[in-house]
Chain A
């Protein structure tokens, strides 16, 4: 009985537009702590439940959801944009010459120390560690995007 009452409460929370809600919520909120009022309350619930069931069955499953905090999901496009943005901010790179396929050492004239700095900037941007062995192989923005997509399970 209490479970049925709670179910009605949750459904009424999820559909604030229903006019029945506020009245029922007030009744429920007042009645919930007192166990003595359960019987008259459940009658009211039963009488109105049939009306609600007709409206609330299908959409309620989608509306009853919990909310967690997380970053927006990554896509290949957003990863590429962020990688290029970070590279453009780096002072030793000429932003006009920068392409996704430009090799750091051959096309952009950087050396291995600069490449270490770039990979560290990427670690800062995306918030996860890139181990040394794999970091030294990443020589173009395209490879960096591929590596991050592999690590973060981004498929398209």
Chain B
């Protein structure tokens, strides 16, 4: 009765939230990359983003993941700022 019926691969709440955050950042990044004017640049950035995310797919420590999330957010903000400058 006290045995948990969750599968062993189920994530804890914090891990689940972090996973959602990472997926949200990936989505935002792809949306921002879509606004880049040059097609070749877009492809390069998409491949770069995909590579970065996939490379660190198997990280398990929460702190390391948190650092990577911060880095990704910084990259995203940089990209958005450059796009805003380029547009003006």
Contact = CB atoms under 8 A, between A and B. Distances in A.
Interface of A: 111-113, 116-117, 120, 132, 135-136
Contacts of A120: 27, 30-31
Interface in B13-45: 19-20, 23-24, 26-27, 30-31
At the interface, is chain B mostly helix, strand, loop or mixed? helix
Contacts of B50: 113, 117
B5 interface: no
B24 A113 contact: no
12 contacts: A111-B57, A112-B19, A113-B50, A113-B54, A116-B23, A116-B27, A117-B30, A117-B50, A120-B27, A120-B31, A132-B24, A136-B20
Nearest to B29: A116
Interface residues of B, number: 12
Contacts of B57: 111, 113
A116 B54 CA distance: 13
Contacts of B54: 113
Contacts of B19: 112
A105 to B, nearest CB: 12
Nearest to A112: B23
B42 to A, nearest CB: 13
Contacts of A111: 57
Interface in B47-79: 50, 53-54, 57
Contacts of A136: 20, 23
B31 A132 contact: no
A113 B27 CA distance: 9
